[in-house]
Each structure stands twice: as C-alpha cells, then as structure tokens.
Structure 1
Amino acid sequence: MDTIYALATASGKAGVAVVRVSGPLAFEAGRRMSGDLPKSRGVRRIVDGQGDLIDEALVLVFEPGKSFTGEAVVEFQLHGSPAIVATVLRELSEIDGLRHAEAGEFTRRALENGKLDLAQVEGLADLIEAETEAQRKQALRVFQGALGTKVESWRERLVRAAALVEATIDFVDEDVPVDVMPEVRELLTSVRDEMQVEADGVRVAERIRDGFEVAIVGAPNVGKSTLLNRLAGRQAAITSDIAGTTRDVIEVRMDLGGLPVTILDTAGLRETDDVVESLGIGIAKQRAAAADMVVYMVVDPSEVEHDFGSDSLIVIAKDDDQLADGVGISGKTGAGVDRLVSVIEERLRSKTARIGVAMRERHRIALLKGCDALDLAMGLVDTQTGLADLIAEEIRTAARATESLVGRVDVEDLLDVIFSSFCIGK
C-alpha cells in the first residue's frame, strides 16, 4: 500500500499547521525529515534533502494500530507559514514511495483497517460540516458509534432467532424438543419495532443536518420582508410600499437555539394579472407547502384565506400585543419578534423528539428493507406453515440490511461519493 501525506489543517497563515504522513514508509519519511523520531512525541529540527533547516516542529509518532488510520503515522506540527508548509510538502513529494493523499483517503484507510465503520465515517463528515450545536451533537453520536452499537444488538438477536429456526430444520424427521417459535417471534418483533423507530426518525435527522425551513407568507405589504430583515439583522430583502416588490424567494440561514433554520421570505399572496408576480406567488405556495413551518402574517385574523396545515403559525402583523390565536409583532420596531423566535424554536424543537441515530436516506431505505423482511418472517411464523427454511432466509435478509448500515455488505458503490465530501487532509 502507498504511503500518503497531506496538510491536515486549513491552508493559509496560522499558528500551527499539521502535515500528516500515513503508511508503511511513514517512519522512514519522518526520519529523513527530522533525523530521528521520538518514541511518541518531541520537538525536532525539520530539514530538507541538503540538511538545511526548514523549521522546528513538534513531531508525533503513532505505531500501527494506534493511529486514526490504523497504520504507522507521523505528524509534523509546524509553524503555520505557507512557505514552511509548501517546503515540507515538496520535500515529502521527493521521497520514493510517497504520494499526496486524495480527498478523504486518511478516513477511507481508517474504514478499511477497521478503525471506523461506514456510519462513523458519515458521522465524521457531518461533524466536520456542523455549524450549529444540534448538528454537532447529532454527528458526534453517530461518529462515536451509536448506530453501530444498535446494529450489533439487532444482529445478535437476529442470529439467535435464525439459529432457533434452523434448529427446527435439523429435527425435520423428529419432534422438536421445545417450541421455539414464541421466542423467535419475540426476538423479531423487538428488532422490527426498534428499526421502524429509527426509520421514522431519519427525516428529522436529515432536517437537523440540512436545516429546517420556515416560510413567511402573507398578503403584499404585510411586513414579511421587514420581519426577515429584523430576524437577519441586516438588509436581506428590499422593503417598499409598492405591492409585489418581492417576486422570488429570499433565504436567510440562522441558528435558532442550536437548530439550523432557513427563513424564507416569499411573494405576497394575492390575485394578480402580472405574469412574473404570478410565478412568484406560485413558487411561494410551493415552498410554503414543503416547509417545516409556516409563519402566516396578517393584519386582521379574519384575513386568513389560505390553509397551510397544522404547522402554520398565525402572526398579527404591526401589532405589539399577543392575541388568542397568534403572536402579535412589529417587524419595524422589533416588538414581539423575540417572542416569535421563541415560539418557532419551541415548535421546531418538538419535531426532534423522534430523532434516533440513523440520519441518512440510505439508512432509512436499509431499515425499511429490514422491516419488510421481518414482517414476512413473522407472517410465516404466525401461519405455522412449518416453512422454517423460508423464515430463516427472511431473517438473514433483515440481518444483511442492518449490516449494510455500517458498511459490512453492499456499500462499495457508496464509498467514492461519501469520501468526495472530505477535504484532502482527512
């Protein structure tokens, strides 16, 4: 296997820059760059091929099996000068057997060497991209192996169920000493119910990763853009007394109590002969229908003309008082806006109650595939048809579906897509 190297920290000036080398020639490269290697860590003079000093750096040494990749690893913690980094990378490139790492290659090696499972790799990718506290916590749970722990629990119970069923095949010409089917059904039911809960929570997990959407809707000149600007703390949308100023959807991304939220300012809802404005109104209705929550602004509660479902909040615009069926606000003065933000945060947070540790669409598909197989297996158990071999096969299908979650089977085609999202030094 090649020995790879890369800058593991952001490019540009910094206090410290870390260059990582991983693979069978890592220690040899480290000795060439620093003369000798410390047992675990130590400050060394970093020199070029002619022995000229490049920098003084902290050198860290990881024995095979004890590093992030599972391979021999040397890290140079250099002063963060672009010139120093460039020189060190150039010197490494001139060592036979070393090559520059590809995007995500260090993490891919951690997967191949059993240091991480596929779900942990996905969690790491999300952890690197996390912008809010909710995103960080969710990604960290998966990166620490929470999904893998669940998969192992499911696998153990499915293996037990399959073993019990296959034992009846061995007694095909004799009486089975004990009726195992009640225990089999109990095992399959417990796994199936837990998998369904995880599948149901994927949509919410995706929203935490990608962000919730809150659409502001209402008639023209009701104050939607003014409210958006107030929430954004800047002039994100043009405000005007002229009806129909907002034609397209304007988006502002925010952090509300640790939740990633995109606020959408939409075109005013009204009947119009203006073709362009009509298109904007159509888009506004579509985005509102797809949003996680709708803030419906009206001046008078009797003006509510559209039904955006149970996830809509009626807001009385240009009003400083809280009314019975809504929240009164003034986007111009800011009165009531903090209260509105609190209500939005509370409603969105309530949606996260069902969240588990499965967090991607591929997880949901695999979980549902496993649930379907278990439903078939339990149906065969209930009919008492005696088709033990079919029951066992459906259990094995469910087990394969769960193992695909952590990359044990049927995921090779996903790897290039997943690792392409990583930076070079990760």
Structure 2
Amino acid sequence: MNDTIVALATAQGVSAIAVIRLSGKDCIDIVQKVFKGKNLQQQPSHTLHFGTIYDDKKVIDEVLVSLFKEPNSFTKENCIEISCHGSPVIIKEIIKVLLKKGARLAEPGEFTKRAFLNGRFDLAQAEAVADLINAETDNARQAALNQMRGGFSKEINRLREELIHFASLIELELDFGEEDVEFAKRDDLRYLILKIQTYLQSLIDSFDQGNVIKNGVPTVIAGKPNAGKSTLLNTLLNEERAIVSDIAGTTRDVIEDEVILGGINFRFIDTAGLRETQDVIEAIGVERTKERMKKASLIIYLFDLTQASLSEIEEQEKELVSLSIPFIKVGNKMDKADKSLLSKLEEKNFLFISAANKTNIQQLKEKILSYFQVQSVKTGDVMVTNIRHYQNLLQTNEALQRVLDGMDQEITGDFLAMDIRQALHYLGEITGTITTDDLLDNIFSKFCIGK
C-alpha cells in the first residue's frame, strides 16, 4: 500500500490516445522527475497540465497530465493520469521511465482494491466497477451502475444494523445468565427475522434475472449432421460466421458468437453434428457438443425434416428431456419437408423454419425470448447479479432459519447468538465489512490491470 503503482488504463494496441495511470503517495514526485512543464506539487487538485515526458535528455512524447491529490481521487491517494499518443512504443517508454524513477507495475484490479481498502466504497460496489466495464447490454450497464452507486449495499447494511441490535441484546442477556432476564424479546426477534427473510428471498429470487442480464444466455444449436445448424447460426448473426457445406461433419469444433435479443446477450454456439463416427477429429467435436449441451441454459435442437422419421425424432426428444435443460424443437427445411410429417409434428410443439430462406426466424427469436422474461432495469432497482452475493444471501437465510427453529425449540440464548453472528458474518462478506486476503485476491485478480 506504500508503493506507487503504474499501469496502462486504456486498451492495448494502437489508438489515437492512451492513458497511463499512477496511484500512491509518491506519484506526483515520480512524474515530476520526468515531466517538463509546471511544477505539479504546486498545482491544485483536479487540474490538467500540458508538458513533455523525458528520459534523461531524450524526449518521449508531449502529454497532458491530470492531477488528483489525496483524498479527492478514485483511490483516495495521490493519483496522476498521463494522456499520451497511443503508440505502443510511446506507452512502453513512458511506463519504463516511470518504473526507473520508483513506481512499480500494478497488479490486476489494484487501483480498485486500493479504493476499497481506503474506504472509497465497499466490496459490492468495487465488484460493480468490473461489471460496469464488462457490460454488453443497456440492462447490464444499468444494473452495474445501480450497484456501484450503493443501492444494494445500503439495503444489506440496513439489515445488518437491525440484526446487530438484537444480537447485542442477546449477548447482554448472557452476562446476566443467573438472573434469568430477557432483553431481546423473542416475539420482536421473530418478527424481525421473518421481515428480513422476506426481503432476502426477494433478492435471492432476483438472481435468475440478474444472472441473465449480467452474463447472458449460452444457447447451444445442436442436431445431427447437415440439419442446418451452421446455416441457422449465420442467419441469426446475419453474417457468414460458420462454413456451410452439404458434406456431413463439416463443423468439427465449437463456433460461437453473440447477438443481443430483447436486451439480453445470447451466445449462440454452433456445434458438431451428433452421430457415431470413426473419424477421430469429428469424434472429439461430437464429445464437445455433448459437454456444451450439458452446460447450456437453452438448447435449440434442429431436426432435418427431409431426412428424419417420426420414430427417430421421438427418440432424440427423449434424450433431450433426460438433460433437464430447456430446449426448443425446431424443424428445419420446412419448404422441402413431407406435408404428412409436418402435420404429425404440429401436435408436438415444433417450430418449423427454413434457415436458408430465413423463414420463421423472427418466430424463433420470439420463442427463444419467451424462456427469459427480463424487464428493463431502471435507476434504483436492487438486483443480485453476482454469484458470490447470491451464495452469501442463501447462507444468511439458512442461518436465520436456524434462529427461528431454535426459538421454536426454546434453546438458550448463547446458541441463538451463535446463529445470529453467523448470519451477520455472511452479510458482512457481501459488502466487505468482513473480509479475508484470499477473498480479496480472488475478486480483484479478475479485474484488468489498469483498473
């Protein structure tokens, strides 16, 4: 925490400008050693300064320096952002000269980690920073922004405070154990826990929608060879992403890309055709298809209506049901199919399309969306999008249920206090009131280096 850290804050590669970020008590002194312009130590916070970066007598680049003095910065430390031309050579040279003058390279997420450790925001808000950067839809952006602004944290902290009040009263009872006094009225405690559980359950229930908004929906397009899977992927993406051929087994590996439908990011995954094969490479592709199907949130199973028989379709349908994953039965090549087969399949909840002619593709998109009803996220909406938060909420709810069960069994206050402390612990882990180094390392290691 005493080091001055430096990292590129903008994306790698050639660009018009790049931003190099520093944070730490000595960052102004370090930059001043290589900066020719105004004396940065004498300038007020939140000011911009034009000048030149030198390495001894060699000019590296003309830059614009943004100055933020503690505690009025993102990390609550002295911070500087150097805007330079976006040549990789220039970026490398500037960072190299800053390292030579005493800075060190930042670790992944270290700027945000320092902001958390210095009290700029809590852990849930810090995690929302990464979610905001990675948001791919407007709903994901709004959900992350709501969390970063502290709406979720305020609710969690309010619940903790109410529980802490009762926990302290029960702890006080333990000090007067021989006098048989009751500072925490059990009816009031029961009412509070039921109220908290009701709210916790609403947060837990919001995770299904929140997870879809944040992470999107992995959707596998599966079926036998030549069913039209690659053609359907290209049609959904509106580009020639996958190779289309009449030769069975053309797709041997997973091909995937993303499309936003109804504000949800769908990752469509084209897979190798499912069949028995002696080709070693194709067999690996078939195995990968089966693995992807098990991990999918939705399966679009394509049947070739010109080749498949009714008995074969029914057999494949049984295998789909055994996976216990939502699936859509899609009959492809409807324009070439036998009319008697179509009439028999109409009663089996089939959707008929022609991927090549783009027939009924809009109906397929509507069918896909019907499995994931996501409303627009509005400013102030509280929603759980993080699996870590979701697990902590489940554990909190279980601990509170043990308190209720304990009161029904009339157990002593020390056991009630133990379960309440457990609930407080799980709630505290969400916002970072209670943390471990392992937890922090795991969270911030997933951030990009300059954030």
What TM-score bracket applies, with the shorter chain setting the length?
0.7 to 0.9
SS across alignment from 2:108: coil
SS in 1 for 2:85: strand
Q: Does 1:373 align with 2:375?
A: no
* C-alpha spacing 1:239/1:14, structure 2 compared with 1 (3 Å): closer
- Helix, strand or coil: the match of 2:64? strand
Shift of 1:108: 1.7
Give the Cα separation in 1 of the matches to 2:220 and 2:151.
33
Correspondence for 1:395 = 420
Structure 1 residue 244, shift from structure 2 partner: 5.1
Q: Call closer, same or farther: CA 1:410–1:104 in 2, change over 3 Å.
A: closer
1:165, 1:180 within 8 Å by CA — same for their partners in 2?
no
Q: 1:263 to 1:85 in 2, by over 3 A?
A: closer
Letter matched to residue 369 of structure 1: Q
Note if contact 1:204-1:352 (Cα within 8 Å) is conserved in structure 2.
no
SS, match of residue 48 in structure 1: strand
TM alignment of 1:134-283, pairs within 5 A? 134-169=139-174, 172=177, 176=181, 180-202=185-207, 205-243=210-248, 245-246=250-251, 248-268=253-273, 272=276
Cα 1:20/1:269, change in 2 over 3 Å: closer
Name the counterpart of 1:64. Answer: 70
Contact 1:205–1:359 (CA under 8 A) maintained in structure 2: yes
- Partners of 2:222 and 2:274 within 8 A in 1: yes
Q: TM-score, normalised by structure 1?
A: 0.84
Question: Does 2:445 correspond to 1:420?
Answer: yes
Deviates more, 1:390-399 or 1:31-40: 31-40
Counterpart CA distance in 2 for 1:275 and 1:53 is 60
Amino acid at match of 2:390: R
* Cα separation, partners in 2 of 1:78 and 1:274, compared to 1, 3 Å: closer
Q: 1:316 to 1:43 in 2, by over 3 A?
A: same
Aligned equivalents of 1:179, 1:35: Cα separation in 2: 63
- Asked if the contact 2:234–2:241 (Cα under 8 Å) also holds between the matched residues in 1, the reply is yes
Alpha-carbon distance in structure 2 between the residues aligned to 1:395 and 1:61? 46
Residue 396 of structure 1, CA deviation: 0.9
The Cα of 1:390 is off from its aligned counterpart by 1.3
Per the alignment, do residues 125 and 175 of structure 1 end up closer, same or farther by CA in structure 2, a change over 3 Å counting?
same
User: Does 2:444 match 1:408?
Assistant: no
Q: Which residue of 1 aligns with 2:110?
A: 105
Q: Return the alpha-carbon distance in structure 2 between the equivalents of residues 367 and 253 of structure 1.
A: 31
Partner residue, 2:364: 340
Deviation at 1:352, TM superposition (A): 10
Output the CA distance in 1 between the equivalents of 2:82 and 2:284. 57
Q: Give the CA deviation at 1:206.
A: 4.1
Q: Which runs of 5+ in 1 are unaligned?
A: none
Alignment partner of 2:372: what SS? helix
Distance across 2 between alignment mates of 1:94 and 1:371: 52
Matched position secondary structure for 1:395: helix
Q: 1:408 to 1:175 in 2, by over 3 A?
A: closer
Q: Which amino acid aligns with 2:133?
A: I
Which residue type is aligned with residue 222 of structure 2? V
Alignment partners' CA distance in 2, 1:200 and 1:111:
28
Q: Deviations over 1:192-240 (max 9, x none)?
A: 3333443454455444444312223344433223212222334444444
Residue in 1 aligned with 2:338?
A: none
Change (3 A) 1:126 1:350: closer
Structure 1 215/356 Cα, relative in aligned 2: closer, same or farther at 3 Å?
A: farther
Q: 1:129–1:215: structure 2 CA closer, same or farther, 3 Å change rule?
A: same
Q: 1:36: how far off?
A: 1.3
Identify which of 84, 96, 118 aligns with 1:78: 84
Q: Distance in 1 between matches of 2:215 and 2:184?
A: 49
Pick one of 311, 329, 333 that aligns with 1:314: 329
Distance 1:50 1:58 in 2: 19
CA distance in structure 1 between the partners assigned to 2:50 and 2:250 by the alignment: 64
User: Matches of 1:283 and 1:403 in 2, distance apart?
Assistant: 40
Equivalent residue, structure 1, for 2:410: 384
For residues 295-340 of structure 1, give each alpha carbon's deviation from its aligned partner in whole angstroms, at most 9, with x where no partner exists.
2334389544414358222323223799673433211111211221
**Structure 2: how far apart are the matches of 1:49 and 1:263?**
50
User: Are 2:151 and 2:382, in contact at CA under 8 Å, matched by a contact in 1?
Assistant: no
CA contact (8 A) 1:164 1:184 kept: no
Q: Is the 8 A contact 1:41 1:58 kept in 2?
A: no
For residue 339 of structure 2, what is the aligned residue in structure 1?
none
Q: Displacement of 1:125 after TM fit?
A: 2.1
Q: Per-residue displacement from partner, 1:264-287 (whole Å, max 9, x unpaired)?
A: 3345556x5758677766654554
TM value normalised by structure 2: 0.80
Q: What whole-Å deviation, never above 9, does each CA across 1:367-415 have from its counterpart, x for those lacking one?
A: 2222221111111122234x11211121011101111112232431122
Q: Report the alpha carbon displacement of residue 179 of structure 1 after superposing the two structures with TM.
A: 7.3
Q: Does 1:88 pair with 2:102?
A: no
**Are 1:202 and 1:356, in contact at CA under 8 Å, matched by a contact in 2?**
no
Q: Distance in 2 between matches of 1:248 and 1:85?
A: 38
Match of 2:134 in 1: 129
- The answer to whether the 8 Å contact 1:45/1:53 transfers is no
Mapped to 2, the partners of 1:279 and 1:94 lie a distance apart of 50
* SS of corresponding position for 2:266: strand
What's the CA shift for 1:260?
A: 2.3
Question: SS state of the match for residue 66, structure 1?
Answer: coil
Distance 1:346 1:134, change over 3 A: farther
| C-alpha distance in 2 between matches for 1:367 and 1:85 | 44
TM-aligned CA distance change 1:265 to 1:35, over 3 Å: closer
* Alpha-carbon distance, 1:186 to partner: 1.5
Structure 2 CA distance for partners of 1:250 and 1:414, relative to 1, 3 Å = same
CA contact 1:195–1:371 (8 Å) conserved in 2: yes
Deviation string, structure 1 residues 72-130 (Cα, Å, up to 9, x no partner): 112222333445434433432332x4333233221221121111322222222232233
* Identity rate, percent: 36
